[in-house]
Amino acid sequence: MVSARRAAVFLDRDGVLNRAIVRDGRPYPPASVAELEILPGVPQALARLRDAGLLALVVTNQPDVTTGKTTQAIVDQIHDRLRDMLPLDAIYACTCVEGPGCDCYKPRPGMLIRAAAEWGVDCRRSFMIGDRWRDVGAGRAAGCRTIFIDYNYAERRPDSPDFVAQDLGQAVDIVLAAHNEV
């Protein structure tokens, strides 16, 4: 059993680490590695988390695998590229579609709870950063503080995130200020 549980930052993928493809005001994942574009400042923001001793754990819904809009191989290629380009500790992906048989499709907290158990993370000391209401919901359900990166998508807004940021760099500023208070 882990005696001193760590703090972590759980990160959504599309719209947080890489540019989401926005169509009709709604965000979508890149369809290939060629479409993958790391957002400005992301490598530096993640390096700051690592320097502070915080884990960077990606938790991403990828239902397009199940619906046939993409393949597991393409999702794996994108994740391999992210691992090559960014200081990430782990990537967790749910390929389910929302429904009663899945506890990991955000806003359900299953991916965060699994990652926390595997990495010895205390969710109460941790943050969830995302650009959609589902991310904020999953973070809250897991007991994390939440940061919503607001791109004004044409979709449901999150219910009461703890913080709102313009990008990952600003979100990391919030995380580090809170982490340094402890």
pLDDT digits (tens, 9 = 90+) for 160-169: 999 999 999 9
Predicted confidence at residue 182, as pLDDT, reads: 59
CA-to-CA distance for 134 and 138, rounded, in angstroms?
6
Closest alpha carbon to 97 in 55, 61, 133: 61
Q: Tell me the CATH number at 110.
A: 3.40.50.1000
The answer to the question of residue 117 being in a domain is yes
pLDDT in tens, 49-64: 999 999 999 999 999 9
The answer to the question of residue 3 being in a domain is no
Q: Look up the domain containing 93 and give its range.
A: 8-181
pLDDT in tens, 128-179: 999 999 999 999 999 999 999 999 999 999 999 999 999 999 999 999 999 8
The answer to the question of residue 2 being in a domain is no
Predicted confidence at residue 2, as pLDDT, reads: 43
The answer to the question of residue 89 being in a domain is yes
Residues with a known catalytic role: 12, 14
pTM (predicted TM-score)? 0.95
Angle at 71 between CA 70 and CA 76, to 5 degrees: 115
CA-to-CA distance for 30 and 90, rounded, in angstroms?
20
Q: Are 126 and 92 in contact (CB under 8 A)?
A: no
Predicted confidence at residue 181, as pLDDT, reads: 73
How many Cα atoms sit within 13 Å of 171 on the Cβ side? 33
pLDDT (mean) for 76-82: 98
Per the prediction, the chain carries an average pLDDT of 95
Q: How many domains does the chain have?
A: 1
The answer to the question of residue 16 being in a domain is yes
